């Protein structure tokens, strides 16, 4: 069953009912100001950091979960409704929500009055615009009232939820003309405030939540709206809100637009303390002025759409698979931008108050983002590397506002360091910018203790080399990519959380997955050294890679697949010998994509075992058989009920690893089959089972052991976005950036037909036509560039050349 449809021309997903199985959301914002925006106009806003600078309130564990929005109430002769259906939930005569790239538009109507709200964050200002257009489609004059409504958060979202004894006395607002200023904290800080404005003088306002709602009422039937007039309340303490009230009349056929702006202002350092007790409203007024008319708003929205059109033109495909085209050309890249911006911080499943930016997460997100805005990728790499310690280990997470490592979580995830090599090499291949390696980057954010980024990479590599276990495989530490594989015997006391009370480093437990990573990214590191002409270092790295390769074959192969790990007692994990958890997905995907076992014929065996033991119609499960009880030697993984999350859920993130691995051994049919199984556009028709948004990936789909096999959770913020984009763009469609140019090496289903890719690479445009006349799955027999056949399959990048016409003949 579908709850909407794709409008590919407009690059929008159109939701046709507010009653989607779960809130289907969008993200507004490109740089610093962000909002979550659901199909019922729910969701909150923040500046830079969802925990520390939260602008509007969201109620956790609320029912319904979809809350905290920017709501508009319409009262026409006692009939009260919202354009986004919530919170009043009055039946609407029509409803449509269009989620586009960085904007959403909800249009609905009741009794021939149409309301359309377009919400977006403009490119260059720290604000969210809500443009409301009301149209009278009846033959009679309509008189009705309109109330806007947002509830302010007192900045730090955790404090806001907990420190009531203080918070209930600190709220302060100010109203001037049609602008409501939220000033809480200005006394001690004087450096920031929020505002909510309208471009027309209202007939009244409210700023006290209690006055607006009335006693014992919720936002589904506010007293002020019911009484059809505002109370002009000025909040003092308690809960500040911003509501404008308009009494409106529309002639038949008449339309009226009102522009609302929710903005954030941070006064410049030198402006602080200049005039105690008075906020400097000038910067807010300047922003409000920039969006003061419908025309100005239309122009700003147009700029946003053009921005996205430009970004997406960096990679686009035309094939005979429309669903693939729409995912590659629009939604997958869009999700890559959102995960780059958010890491795992703020979604309808990630609270925005817990994990900030993840070290491994952000490094991986970058793989799918770097071709969009390489400069931002560069900046991010330097931020991430600054949270690394001198020994090469790293803070697992850091706070986006302060960019400081998170002490509560600390370090000890032994895969983290190697992801830095992954993202740096992807950045250099994309841009050719080797200068990044010479940047001085602090350790642990201490500017007095810095080294070049290249030195950071070396320490990443050395961290693994110096942390090997009894089988010469990498020590796992607290966990590797699989956060829940806690092999260093961890017993959780009642009330403790797995998140913050991790097990410490152990001298024995080893990870075959990190070994696969080391082979892959050790080789990447060596190739960087090669490009730099540091052949000794290249040799040292390749030697270590060879030793790791051998260690995997020696001690990491279980007969039909790769082992997962050795636990703290050196017992096998992910082996035939185990009673549960005999085979895991991660080492099969990563070892093969790193090239391990290919020439020995083991790779194919491992991938066949994946198909035989882990595959389902909804994707490949993380492990089988699922753990049915808690194992102290395994940790959190066995704390989940079978079929969920890391305990045999279909973790979408590592499905593309297996798909890439299939391309490494040339099985394009299987690689694409795996691609399609978890790809949201291919799941649109079963939205009642899948339940999350059909335009973005979710972290997990419940596995075969779960009660609701096929049901997805944790949509949006997942490394799946980046890895599927890497898979489809570089391995299936086969256009891969490299140091000296673009490599073309497709691996497609035999019946895939011809296709074209447009790729912008280092400012040059490549128009690539792939002809598969022999219906093969892999293999390039000839490449013609601008009429001339080249040797091999690397199209060399030539400085100054702006277009490349390329024809590739598979065979
Ligand atoms: C996993 C969760 C786990 C958390 C805590 C996450 O990466 O997906 O299942 O609870 O890590 O370590
Ligand atoms: O690798 C992790 C990631 O960092 C956060 N989400 C879950 C993954 C698997 O545990």
Ligand 1 center to residue 498 CA distance, Å?
8
Task: Specify the fold of 467-611.
Answer: Glycosyltransferase (1.50.10)
pLDDT for 267 equals: 79
For residue 339, which of 329, 347, 328 has the smallest C-alpha distance? 347
Lowest mean pLDDT among 442-456, 494-508, 682-696: 494-508
**Does the pLDDT value for residue 546 go beyond 90?**
yes
Tell whether ligand 2 has an atom less than 6 A from the beta carbon of residue 737: no
C-beta of residue 34 within 8 angstroms of C-beta of residue 28: yes
Mean pLDDT estimate for the chain: 96
Mean pLDDT over residues 138-153, rounded? 98
**Does the pLDDT value for residue 397 go beyond 90?**
yes
Distance CA 211, CA 659 (A): 57
Which atom of ligand 1 is closest in space to residue 344's alpha carbon? Answer: 7
pLDDT for 504 equals: 63
For residue 363, which of 331, 385, 386 has the smallest C-alpha distance? 385
Tell whether ligand 2 has an atom less than 6 A from the beta carbon of residue 192: no
Mean pLDDT over residues 225-252, rounded? 98
Judge if the upstream peptide bond of residue 87 is cis by omega within 30 degrees of 0: yes
Mean pLDDT over residues 527-537, rounded? 98
- Of all residues in the chain, the percent with pLDDT exceeding 90 is 93
User: Confidence class of residue 179 from pLDDT cuts 50, 70 and 90?
Assistant: very high
- State the first-to-last Cα distance of the chain, in angstroms, to the nearest integer: 40
Ligand 2 center to residue 38 CA distance, Å?
25
Q: Which tens digits make up the pLDDT trace of 357-374?
A: 999 999 999 999 999 999
**Residue ranges with strand state E in 355-501:** 357-358, 397-398, 440-443, 446-452
pLDDT for 219 equals: 97
pLDDT for 8 equals: 98
Q: Long-range contacts made by residues 329-335, C-beta under 8 angstroms, separation at least 24?
A: 330/8, 330/11, 330/101, 331/13, 331/680, 331/681, 331/695, 331/696, 332/368, 332/697, 332/721, 332/724, 332/725, 332/728, 333/368, 333/372, 333/725, 334/101, 334/308, 334/696, 335/696, 335/697, 335/716, 335/721
**Does the pLDDT value for residue 707 go beyond 70?**
yes
Domain ranges of the chain: 4-309, 343-466, 467-611, 614-723, 735-810
Tell whether ligand 2 has an atom less than 6 A from the beta carbon of residue 484: yes
C-beta of residue 756 within 8 angstroms of C-beta of residue 318: yes
Q: Which tens digits make up the pLDDT trace of 80-129?
A: 999 999 999 999 999 999 999 999 999 999 999 999 999 999 999 999 99
Ligand 1 pocket test, candidate residues 411, 498, 639, most atoms within 8 A of CB: 498
Ligand 1 center to residue 518 CA distance, Å?
23
Q: Which tens digits make up the pLDDT trace of 207-227?
A: 999 999 999 999 999 999 999
Ligand 1 center to residue 734 CA distance, Å?
32
User: Confidence class of residue 409 from pLDDT cuts 50, 70 and 90?
Assistant: confident
Q: Which tens digits make up the pLDDT trace of 481-531?
A: 999 999 986 566 666 666 555 556 788 999 999 999 999 999 999 999 999
Distance CA 735, CA 765 (A): 13
Proximal ligand: closest to the CA of 481: 2
User: Confidence class of residue 155 from pLDDT cuts 50, 70 and 90?
Assistant: very high
Proximal ligand: closest to the CA of 584: 2
Ligand 1 center to residue 743 CA distance, Å?
36
User: Confidence class of residue 272 from pLDDT cuts 50, 70 and 90?
Assistant: low
C-beta of residue 664 within 8 angstroms of C-beta of residue 725: no
Bridge partners, 126 (sequence order): none
Map residue 255 onto helix, strand or coil: strand
Ligand 2 center to residue 344 CA distance, Å?
9
Tell whether ligand 2 has an atom less than 6 A from the beta carbon of residue 640: no
Ligand 2 pocket test, candidate residues 639, 653, 721, most atoms within 8 A of CB: 653
Active site residues: 483
Kind of pairing between the strands at 315-318 and 45-47: unpaired
| Tokens read off for 119 | 């919400």
pLDDT for 408 equals: 86
Mean pLDDT over residues 334-360, rounded? 95
The DSSP call for residue 319 is -
Superfamily of domain 4-309: Glycoside hydrolase, family 65, N-terminal domain (2.70.98.40)
Mean pLDDT over residues 655-684, rounded? 98
pLDDT for 356 equals: 87
The DSSP call for residue 116 is E
Q: How many CA atoms lie within 13 A of 591 on its CB side?
A: 36
What is the C-alpha R_g of the chain? Answer: 27
Supply the residue whose CA is at minimum distance from atom 1 of ligand 1.
483
Domain 735-810, CATH? 2.60.420.10
Which atom of ligand 2 is closest in space to residue 355's alpha carbon? Answer: 5
Sign of CA dihedral 478, 481, 487, 493: positive
Distance CA 247, CA 250 (A): 10
Distance CA 337, CA 366 (A): 9
Ligand 1 center to residue 472 CA distance, Å?
27
Mean pLDDT over residues 374-397, rounded? 97
Which atom of ligand 2 is closest in space to residue 651's alpha carbon? Answer: 9
Ligand 2 center to residue 480 CA distance, Å?
9
pLDDT for 270 equals: 60
The DSSP call for residue 716 is S
Which atom of ligand 1 is closest in space to residue 714's alpha carbon? Answer: 8
The runs of H, that is alpha helices, within 637-769 are 655-664, 668-678, 680-683, 687-690, 720-726
For 430, phi then psi, to 5°, come to -65, -45
Kind of pairing between the strands at 764-771 and 803-810: parallel
Tell whether ligand 2 has an atom less than 6 A from the beta carbon of residue 358: yes
What are the DSSP calls for 416-433, one per residue? HHHHHHHHHHHHHHHH--
| Tokens read off for 420 | 């830095």
Distance CA 586, CA 360 (A): 15
The DSSP call for residue 237 is S
Which atom of ligand 2 is closest in space to residue 361's alpha carbon? Answer: 4
Kind of pairing between the strands at 565-566 and 572-573: antiparallel
pLDDT for 273 equals: 57
C-beta of residue 126 within 8 angstroms of C-beta of residue 147: no
Map residue 294 onto helix, strand or coil: helix
Ligand 1 pocket test, candidate residues 364, 483, 637, 719, most atoms within 8 A of CB: 483
Mean pLDDT over residues 139-157, rounded? 98
Ligand 1 center to residue 344 CA distance, Å?
11
For residue 809, which of 780, 788, 777, 785 has the smallest C-alpha distance? 780
Proximal ligand: closest to the CA of 416: 2
Tell whether ligand 2 has an atom less than 6 A from the beta carbon of residue 482: yes
Ligand 2 center to residue 384 CA distance, Å?
17
Ligand 1 pocket, Cβ-based, cut-off 6 angstroms: 483-484, 498-499, 636, 645-646
| Tokens read off for 248 | 């409106």
Tell whether ligand 2 has an atom less than 6 A from the beta carbon of residue 713: no
Residues with Cβ < 8 Å from 135, sequence gap 6 or more? 113, 114, 116, 250, 253, 254, 255, 256
For residue 151, which of 30, 55, 276 has the smallest C-alpha distance? 55
Supply the residue whose CA is at minimum distance from atom 6 of ligand 1.
483
pLDDT for 276 equals: 60
Map residue 342 onto helix, strand or coil: helix
Question: How far from chain centre, in Å, is Cα 682?
Answer: 20
User: Confidence class of residue 676 from pLDDT cuts 50, 70 and 90?
Assistant: very high
Supply the residue whose CA is at minimum distance from atom 5 of ligand 1.
499
Q: Which tens digits make up the pLDDT trace of 722-742?
A: 999 999 999 999 999 999 999
Which atom of ligand 2 is closest in space to residue 344's alpha carbon? Answer: 5
Supply the residue whose CA is at minimum distance from atom 4 of ligand 2.
361
Residues with Cβ < 8 Å from 379, sequence gap 6 or more? none
**Does the pLDDT value for residue 588 go beyond 60?**
yes
Proximal ligand: closest to the CA of 486: 1
| Tokens read off for 580 | 């549960």
Supply the residue whose CA is at minimum distance from atom 7 of ligand 1.
483
């Amino acid at each position: 069953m579908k709850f909407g449809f794709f409008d590919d021309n407009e690059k929008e997903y159109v939701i046709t009912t507010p009653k989607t199985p779960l809130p289907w959301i969008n993200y507004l914002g490109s740089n610093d100001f962000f909002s979550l925006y659901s199909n019922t106009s729910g969701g909150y806003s923040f500046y830079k950091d969802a925990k520390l600078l939260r602008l509007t309130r969201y109620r956790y564990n609320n029912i319904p979960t979809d809350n905290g929005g920017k709501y508009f109430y319409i009262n026409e002769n006692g009939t009260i409704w919202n354009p986004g259906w919530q919170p009043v939930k009055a039946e609407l005569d029509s409803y449509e929500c269009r989620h586009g790239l960085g904007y959403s538009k909800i249009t609905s109507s009741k009794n021939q009055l149409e309301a359309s709200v377009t919400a977006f964050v403009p490119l260059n200002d720290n604000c969210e615009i809500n443009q409301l257009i009301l149209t009278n489609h009846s033959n009679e004059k309509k008189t009705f009232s309109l109330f806007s409504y947002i509830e302010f958060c007192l900045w730090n979202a955790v404090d806001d939820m907990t420190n009531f004894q203080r918070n209930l006395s600190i709220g302060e607002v100010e109203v001037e003309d049609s602008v409501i200023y939220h000033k809480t904290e200005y006394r001690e800080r004087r450096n920031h405030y929020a505002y909510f404005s309208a471009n027309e003088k209202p007939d009244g306002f409210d700023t006290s939540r209690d006055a607006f709602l009335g006693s014992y009422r919720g936002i589904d039937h506010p007293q002020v709206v019911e009484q059809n007039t505002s109370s002009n309340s000025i909040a003092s303490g308690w809960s500040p809100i911003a509501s404008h009230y308009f009494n409106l009349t529309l002639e038949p056929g008449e339309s009226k637009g009102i522009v609302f702006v929710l903005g954030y202002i941070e006064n410049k350092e030198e402006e602080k303390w200049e005039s105690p007790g008075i906020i400097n409203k000038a910067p807010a007024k300047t922003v409000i002025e920039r969006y003061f008319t419908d025309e100005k708003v239309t122009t700003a929205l147009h700029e946003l759409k053009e921005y996205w059109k430009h970004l997406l033109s960096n990679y686009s495909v035309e094939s005979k698979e429309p669903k693939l085209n729409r995912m590659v050309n629009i939604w997958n890249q869009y999700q890559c931008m959102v995960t780059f911006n958010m890491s795992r911080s703020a979604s309808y499943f990630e609270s925005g108050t817990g994990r900030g930016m993840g070290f491994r997460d952000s490094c991986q997100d970058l793989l799918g983002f770097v071709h969009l805005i390489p400069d931002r990728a560069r900046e991010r790499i330097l931020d991430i590397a600054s949270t690394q310690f001198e020994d090469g280990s790293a803070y697992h997470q850091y706070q986006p506002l302060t960019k400081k490592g998170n002490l509560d979580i600390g370090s000890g995830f032994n895969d983290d360091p190697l992801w830095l090599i992954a993202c740096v090499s992807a950045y250099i291949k994309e841009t050719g910018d080797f200068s990044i390696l010479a940047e001085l980057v602090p350790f642990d954010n201490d500017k007095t203790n810095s080294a070049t980024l290249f030195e950071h990479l070396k320490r990443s590599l050395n961290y693994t080399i110096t942390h090997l276990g009894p089988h010469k495989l990498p020590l796992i530490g607290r966990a590797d990519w699989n956060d829940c594989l806690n092999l260093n015997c961890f017993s959780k006391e009642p009330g403790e959380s797995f998140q913050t009370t991790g097990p410490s480093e152990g001298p024995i437990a080893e990870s075959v997955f990190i070994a696969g990573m080391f082979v892959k990214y050790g080789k990447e590191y060596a190739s960087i050294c090669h490009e730099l002409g540091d052949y000794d270092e290249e040799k040292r790295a390749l030697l270590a890679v060879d030793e790791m390769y051998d260690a995997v074959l020696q001690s990491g192969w279980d007969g039909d697949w790769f082992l997962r790990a050795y636990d703290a007692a050196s017992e096998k994990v992910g082996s035939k010998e185990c009673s549960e958890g005999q085979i895991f997905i991660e080492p099969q995907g990563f070892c093969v994509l790193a090239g391990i076992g290919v020439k020995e014929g083991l790779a194919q065996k491992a991938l066949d075992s994946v198909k035989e033991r882990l595959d389902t119609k909804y994707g490949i499960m993380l492990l089988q058989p699922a753990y049915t009880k808690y194992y102290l030697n395994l940790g959190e993984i066995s704390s989940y009920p079978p079929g969920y999350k890391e305990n045999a859920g279909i973790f979408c993130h590592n499905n593309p690893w297996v798909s890439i691995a299939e391309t490494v051994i040339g099985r394009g049919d299987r690689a694409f089959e795996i691609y399609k199984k978890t790809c949201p556009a291919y799941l649109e028709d079963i939205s009642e089972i899948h339940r999350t948004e059909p335009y973005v990936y979710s972290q997990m789909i419940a596995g075969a052991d779960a009660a609701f096999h096929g049901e997805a959770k944790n949509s949006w913020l997942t490394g799946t976005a980046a890895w599927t984009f890497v898979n489809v763009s570089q391995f299936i469609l086969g256009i891969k950036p490299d140091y000296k140019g673009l490599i073309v090496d497709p691996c497609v289903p035999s019946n895939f037909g011809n296709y074209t890719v447009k790729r912008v690479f280092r400012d040059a445009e490549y128009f690539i036509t792939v002809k598969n006349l022999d219906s093969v799955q892999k293999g390039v027999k000839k490449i013609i560039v601008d009429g001339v056949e080249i040797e091999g399959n690397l199209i060399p990048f030539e400085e100054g050349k702006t277009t490349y016409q390329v024809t590739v003949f598979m065979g």
